[in-house]
Amino acid sequence: MFTDTLADRFGRTITYLRLAVTDRCNLRCTYCMPTEGVVSLNHSDILSWEEMECLVRLLAGIGVSKVRLTGGEPFARKGVLPFLLRLSNIPDVKQLHITTNGVETAAHIPQLESMNLTGVNLSLDTLVPDRFARITRRSRFTEVQHTLAALLQSTIPLKINTVVQFGLNDDEIGEIAMLAKSHPIEVRFIEEMPFNGLVGETFACTNHWIERRLQSLFPGLQRNESQAGTASLYQVPGFQGQIGVISGAERTFCGSCNRIRITADGQLKTCLYDGGVLDLRKLLRTGATDDDIVSAIRQAVLRRFVDGHAAEQVHPSDKKSMSQIGG
């Protein structure tokens, strides 16, 4: 029914949806939430699987071809695998991905592989068990190790996401990057972003520092200039995979951003740094037609900010946890 593309007033076409299926997580990472955690949503406030599927179908009809399930931790919600299978059967969804912390993922990898999932992003901030417990405030490293090993043996394209923090894991950049030497994967190092549920934090480990560190560790490092997406990708001679740097805090990729987010409670975010621009849950639960919902989404996208800095000026105190936003 809907054939037009979805675009903002700056000419950026939206083709990518990040859908948070839950705000719950089985870890308490220092860069994501405070020690005590965050207040979880009531079950009735979270979109049902049917409501989420409806939104994906509508967005697929206006040009969204890539969907990534996020959280919280997606596998913390019962029913995520049947939901993935239903999304995989939507013809216009050409790419279906999931981001996971790996704690409860290993047992599901054969099923993910059988449904031809087009990508898994695994959060992995350290290869040292004691550090893992310090960063995540949970002792679940063994489970994540099993997930990593199983993913490396599978046919599912794998990206590893490492948030770099001074004094916690900045000295492991080289060792983690070496995972891309023997495997055709992407290992991406990410600037810490201001979404740990705290106010007044500063973040010094910038993309420039990470890039300089990688260049010193791998003198033959070469930039891949033909890339697309949020990561600046690099090739090291002799490596099967690639190394990436994501400038999430400095927001260097806003000009080509093609994504929107839907939080677990149905708030549409046209920018990671906005406070939510449209209550999709309310529309779904008050009898809005498909046309009404699509029209409202189009209008919200048209009001999109030029970049994350402009969005943050409007929402300067929006210091939510990343688990509440959708990673």
What is the C-alpha radius of gyration for the chain, rounded to an integer number of angstroms?
A: 19
pLDDT value of position 200: 47
Instruction: Give residue-wise pLDDT tens across range 119-175.
Output: 999 999 999 999 999 999 999 999 999 999 999 999 999 999 999 999 999 999 999
Confidence at residue 3, expressed as pLDDT on a 0 to 100 scale: 54
pLDDT at 78: 97
> What pTM does this model have?
0.91
- The alpha helices in the chain, defined as continuous H runs, are 49-60, 80-88, 109-114, 129-136, 141-153, 173-177, 207-217, 280-285, 290-302, 308-314, 322-325
pLDDT of amino acid 105 = 98
pLDDT at 34: 79
SS3 state at 205: coil
pLDDT value, residue 38: 76
Structure tokens at 242: 């690639």
| Contact of 247 with 5, CB cutoff 8 Å | no
**CATH for the 6-325 domain, from 3.50.30.30, 3.20.20.70, 3.30.365.10, 3.30.200.20:** 3.20.20.70
Instruction: Please answer whether residues 162 and 128 qualify as being in contact, where contact means their C-beta atoms are separated by less than 8 angstroms.
Output: no
Neighbour order of strands in the sheet with 259-262: 222-223, 231-235, 242-246, 186-190, 158-163, 119-123, 95-100, 66-70, 16-20, 259-262, 267-269, 278-279
pLDDT of residue 309: 79
Domain boundaries of the chain, sorted by first residue: 6-325
* Secondary structure (3-state) at 67: strand
Q: CA nearest 95: which of 120, 73, 74?
A: 120
Residue segments in the chain with a per-residue pLDDT below the cut of 50 = 196-200, 202, 317
DSSP reduced 3-state for 32 = coil
